[in-house]
Structure 1
Amino acid sequence: MQRALLFLNPHSRHGSTRAANGAIRQLGESGMSLLQYSNYDRRDMASLIRRHAPEIDCVVVAGGDGSINAALEGLVATGLPLGILPFGTGNDFARTLGIPVEPVAAASLIVQGDTRSVDVGEINGRFFINVASMGLSVELTRHLTGALKQRWGRLAYPIAAAKALVRVRPFTVRITRAGQSLHARSLQVAIGNGVYYGAGMAVYDGARIDDQCLDFYCLEPAHLWRVPLSFAAFRRGSNRALPGVRAFCSPGPIEIHTEPALAVNTDGEITTTTPATVRLLPKALNVIAPTGNLPTSAAERSRRNDDAA
């Protein structure tokens, strides 16, 4: 891979550090020709990818999950491989793929050029790579400011979560899939594509990014004070054993209706509202990543998760 379109987010937690400069220098010294954008609007990333597609071999995103999400539309449309320099705060997609967080090591992986195909989620026409969610996570996103992340790093997430718990209110939700519906009074609904979200929280510890299956959970605590006590289980991805959690795996589509209508968070950004239709695009994204960690059979996981639901 000799020609790369590089998006460097200077506002990401590590986008302006010496380590970031070293990683980018390594890409250039390896013989890779870099067309670099550092001052750009994330809303323009997809169109820039399409514009330069005939003249490049891959796209490198130096930033966090939000920057990767902004590039998804262009990447899926062109089929260009994605290389990741994980300069963000959470870097959940990189963690799911086993990409090293150390910038120079991540650059070395891009130079090797080994690719794999992974799934992409879609909700109301908006792509997501980690998770789409509503309820508590949206309140968390509203409190998770750039200034908070720059000051506290990964600690910004539990700080914002504590503030969100004070403001979140239960909502009524109806979820329909495969002709069946469930009704619940919930604080949080999440649909995961990979393993991690929210700076290391796990949707489900058995999830895979390429298993052609979306992992759904609905949080229905009997008492709000129980939610903080569940934090450790959510970090491990073992939340399905908790009282008040309903979960399943599905290739989609999934229809979600809430009362009242709610904002939807996709990969850390508020992008749409309910009602929502969730779909899966199997193996829609090519990404430069370690090629190990083969997925569990989707059929096997579907049976296991339906039994747990």
Structure 2
Amino acid sequence: MKKKKKSKSKNKHIRAKLIANPGAGNEVDAPSLLEQAVRCLTNHGIKVDVAYASPKKECRILAKKAVEKGYKIVIAMGGDGTIGEVIRGIAGSDVTLGVIVGGTMNDIAASLGIPEDVEAACALIAKGDMRELDLWQIKTRKHKKFYFFMVTVIGLTAALYPDVKKIPKGKLKEKFSSMKDAIVTLVEHEAKPEVLLTLDDESKIKVDTMVVTIANTPLIASKNLVAPDASMQDGLFDISVFPDYNKAEVLSYFQRTAEENLIPDGKLQRFRAHKVKVKSKPKLEISADGISLGTGTCTIKMHRRALRVFVPPIGLGAEKSQEDEEEELSAPLSPFIKQNKESST
């Protein structure tokens, strides 16, 4: 007589909160995908309580309530926006995040190697293998404490994003209006703003650039590989600046990287740090994970391995393995544009 095979699920008989955004991705397929997810998790022995988040901003509130009610697993089903809001809701807790892809923008899942197939994602959650990942906190004049997981963008692309993101889903009239607004923003944006970066309270770099990206994940904005060496648990973020780029070159670079992955460019400057402060003149727009945070100065610091997530081994996603995660790398990966150890006036 054959012995009964034991379940491989570490999370069997655990109750989980599943927060689903019915407006994410293909709204026609969303109900059937949610039903499939619940059935699959149940088959793995995970008891699921479902909450609908519409609009998306309700995800944060629902996630906070789940933490308060004692759930140890909170599952986000949607795209990057949905997942980001759930992350902000569970930040600071010992809850573990599960991810089921269901959106149009799935860079978090692609960076981590979380499968887009619903059943495979549910099996990953049930298996129970998790990593403790870095979570970042940005402070601006309007937002004193805002958590983000993917990227902060400062400058031209941050200014364009609110208009550009409306184009795909809007009605024809709304699309034209959004395109018009984006064109006006592009034309009126300062061509040579001055940016001062302070890395780890020490190194100061002053540069004329229209864009600064500060990334934790390798992929942003529809699988655009902006930080190929990024690790999500090394305590460092990858900073890119674009000196001597005009507006057309900035837009062209991001368009090409979205289509062709990483494009070598000798003008691009890259740095790594544990903490960064950014000042701009004139004051540039700031956005974190696609959410506008105002203009001007921002300070970003790290919460080391503060986010628990069910993920596969490193190597299945865009993230590269880091051989020495404790290495101090506040110096740039490429030569400084201009470095001044003295206080900037």
Normalised-by-shorter TM-score class = 0.7 to 0.9
Structure with bigger gyration radius: 2
Counterpart position of 1:137: 157
> 2:62 aligns to what SS in structure 1?
helix
The answer as to 2:190 corresponding to 1:169 is yes
Task: Select which of 148, 152, 173 maps to 2:168.
Answer: 148
Q: Indicate the residue corresponding to 1:263 in structure 2.
A: 285
The Cα shift of 1:138 comes to: 1.7
Please tell me the root mean square deviation across aligned C-alpha atoms, in Å.
Answer: 2.8
Equivalent in the alignment of 2:224: 201
The equivalent of 1:77 in structure 2 is: 92
Q: Give the 3-state SS of the residue equivalent to 2:329 in structure 1.
A: helix
- Which residue of the partner structure matches residue 211 of structure 1? 234
1:153-302 equivalent positions in 2, closer than 5 A: 168-170=189-191, 171-177=193-199, 178-231=201-254, 232-233=256-257, 236-238=261-263, 241-243=265-267, 245-252=268-275, 254-293=276-315, 294-298=321-325, 300=327, 302=329
Looking at structure 1, the residues matched to 166 and 77 of structure 2 have their Cα atoms a distance apart, in angstroms, of 17
Amino acid at match of 1:273: T
Total equivalences in the alignment? 298
Distance 1:249 1:15, change over 3 A: farther
Instruction: Work out which of the residue numbers 5, 29, 33 in structure 2 matches 1:19.
Output: 33
User: In structure 2, what is the equivalent of residue 154 of structure 1?
Assistant: none
Aligned to 2:107: 92
How far residue 146 of structure 1 moved from its aligned partner, in angstroms, is: 5.0
Aligned residue for 1:176, secondary structure, equals: strand
Matched, 1:112 2:127: yes
Deviations 1:12-53 (A, max 9, x none): 114551334322321133222222111445444344333333
Counterpart in 2 of 1:155? none
Q: 1:8/1:274 Cα in 2 relative to 1: closer, same or farther (>3 Å)?
A: same
Change (3 A) 1:186 1:147: closer
Q: Are 2:270 and 2:334, in contact at CA under 8 Å, matched by a contact in 1?
A: no
SS of residue matched to 1:258: strand
- Aligned counterpart for 2:76 among listed residues 61, 69, 80: 61
Q: Deviation digits for residues 186-212 of structure 1, max 9, x if unmatched?
A: 111110011110111122211111111
Gaps in structure 2 of 5+ consecutive residues = 1-10, 140-144, 172-178, 316-320, 337-345
Structure number with the higher helix fraction is 1
* Residues 166 and 274 of structure 1: CA distance in aligned 2, closer, same or farther (over 3 Å): same
Q: Distance in 2 between matches of 1:45 and 1:222?
A: 38
Query: In the aligned structure 2, how far is the partner of 1:236 from the partner of 1:72?
Result: 27
Alignment correspondent of 1:50:
64
- Structure-2 separation of matches of 1:290 and 1:198: 22
Moved more, 291-300 or 68-77: 291-300
Structure 2 CA distance for aligned equivalents of residues 11 and 183 of structure 1? 42
> Is 16-25 or 58-67 further displaced after alignment?
16-25
What does the per-residue CA deviation read over 1:232-289, in whole Å, with 9 as the maximum and x for residues that have no partner?
Answer: 35763455x431x22200011x111112323321112213432100111110100001
| C-alpha distance in structure 1 between counterparts of 2:153 and 2:23, whole Å | 25
CA distance 1:88–1:301, shift in 2 (3 Å): farther
Structure 1 residue runs of 5 or longer lacking an equivalent are: 152-158
Q: What's the CA shift string for 1:88-107, capped at 9, x where partnerless?
A: 21211111100011222212
Q: How far apart, CA to CA, are the structure 2 residues paired with 1:85 and 1:126?
A: 24
Cα–Cα, structure 1 residues 165 and 273, in superposed 2: closer, same or farther, change >3 Å?
A: closer
Q: Determine helix, strand or coil for the equivalent of 1:55.
A: coil
Alignment identity in percent? 23
**Which residue is equivalent to 1:31?**
45
Q: Is the 8 A contact 1:10 1:16 kept in 2?
A: no
How far, CA to CA, are the matches of 2:285 and 2:331 in structure 1? 31
- TM-score, normalised relative to structure 1: 0.85
Distance between the aligned counterparts of 1:148 and 1:97, measured in 2? 26
Alpha-carbon deviation of 1:134?
1.6
The reply on whether 1:3 has 2:15 as its aligned counterpart is yes
Alpha-carbon distance in 2 for matches of 1:223, 1:85: 39
Work out the CA distance in 2 between the residues paired with 1:263 and 1:49. Answer: 28
Q: TM-score, normalising length from structure 2?
A: 0.77
